[in-house]
Amino acid sequence: MAAIWFNKSIKKEDINPFIPGTMSEQLGMEWQEIGDDFIKIKMPVDHRTKQAYGLLHGGASCTLAETVGSVASMLVVDPKRFSCVGLEINANHIRSARDGHVTGIAKPLHLGSSTHVWDVKIYDDLDRLICISRLTIAVLNKAF
């Protein structure tokens, strides 16, 4: 299978670190892997990402899903010509996580000229499915 990325030779190390002060940095997200048609990101389950019952906050799962899917879309398009922004997200929280890390894996369901749809599955450290999310991205022409 040919890589879906605009830069066919991209490696994990080529993905820009998060901009200081953004939510992704604040929540401790780290890039894990990039394959021909997927990208993985990891996030700790700690005081930054838990809700009052000590479980992973559903909003943190959605933040992880939107981050990995949005960046994946940015890697599919020519960044000089297009911007990618979230249009819609949904999430089904399958089970809880109390500690360790969760890993989000984004794979494309649709890569069109004006929208992308990503399937994002989030797993705990024991590879148990925590959350399933679908993210729709709007692909916008940059103003020149």
Domains for the chain: give ranges and CATH numbers: 24-141 (3.10.129.10)
The answer to whether residues 52 and 122 touch, using CB atoms and an 8 Å cutoff, is no
- Decide if pLDDT at 7 tops 80: yes
pLDDT at position 77:
97
The pTM assigned to this predicted structure is: 0.95
Mean pLDDT of 23-49: 96
Which pLDDT does position 144 carry in this prediction?
60
Strand ranges for 35-98 from DSSP E = 39-44, 82-93
25 is catalytic: no
CA distances from 68 to 37, 73, 132 (A): 13, 9, 13
Q: Taking all residues of the chain, what is their mean pLDDT, rounded to a whole number?
A: 95
Which of the following is catalytic: 25, 30, 66, 88? 66
Segment 70-126, tens digit of pLDDT: 999 999 999 999 999 999 999 999 999 999 999 999 999 999 999 999 999 999 999
